[in-house]
Chains A and B, each alone.
Chain A
Amino acid sequence: QVHLAESGGGVVQPGRSLRLSCAASGFSFRNYAMNWVRQAPGKGLEWVTFISFDGSNKYYADSVTDRFSISRDNSKNTLYLQMDNVRPEDMAVYYCVRESSGREAYFDFWGQGTLVTVSS
């Protein structure tokens, strides 16, 4: 079955960097676009970034453009999120999310999430 397992969360100081990983299994990872979605404590869901199946297209929310970078290694079935110049407002649970194939895009599988805490 589809399984997405995030790792790499933890405490990070403002202005520092952190890299999240997401190990995918149970499906052909190289055939699917992937996303990161985050949720600040007690708040709603916020889409963060998208990467196409082959990594050729990447899109970012305005709130993270120029600070976050999404990438993937299809040989390792792994998705990454490089977070640079982290801000207090980046504190959230970060979910790795598989996007359905086809025009009717939807997020059909989610990881359990990894918590990023921003604190000095």
Chain B
Amino acid sequence: DIQMTQSPSSLSASVGDRVTISCRASQDIDRYLNWYQQKLGKAPTLLIYAASTLRSGVPSRFSGSGSGTDFTLTISSLQPEDFATYYCQQSYRTLAFTFGGGTKVDIK
């Protein structure tokens, strides 16, 4: 199976900060990488798919980049509603989707 490793596992940031979350795949997955946001007690929601395509309705302060094995989710200016846990997911091997371990973003 393809392993997905996120870093950091948690971070503290302030409103207005630029936040970067990394996701590394254990093998080349081209651009088959998705990002999800999960707020406390809620189901996850899709933010970005195919490494950099923003889902309709998602604020433009969110962006994704990368290909191959290394990917990044960036929040350009953190807003109060962005405090949540973020997960990457590979969809290269659709017989066995795998998620990263998650990155919790909380208030500094």
Contact = CB atoms under 8 A, between A and B. Distances in A.
The B interface, classified by DSSP as helix, strand, loop or mixed, is loop
A95 B89 CA distance: 16
A27 interface: no
Nearest to B100: A44
Contacts of A59: 94-96
B1 to A, nearest CB: 8
Contact of B89 (A61, A100, A107, A110): A107
B102 A100 contact: no
Q: Name the 8 nearest CB pairs between A and B, nearest first.
A: A106-B49, A110-B43, A47-B97, A105-B91, A45-B99, A106-B34, A44-B102, A104-B50
Interface of B: 1, 32, 34, 36, 38, 42-46, 49-50, 53, 55, 87, 89, 91, 94-102
Interface of A: 35, 44-47, 50, 59, 61-62, 95, 100, 104-108, 110-113
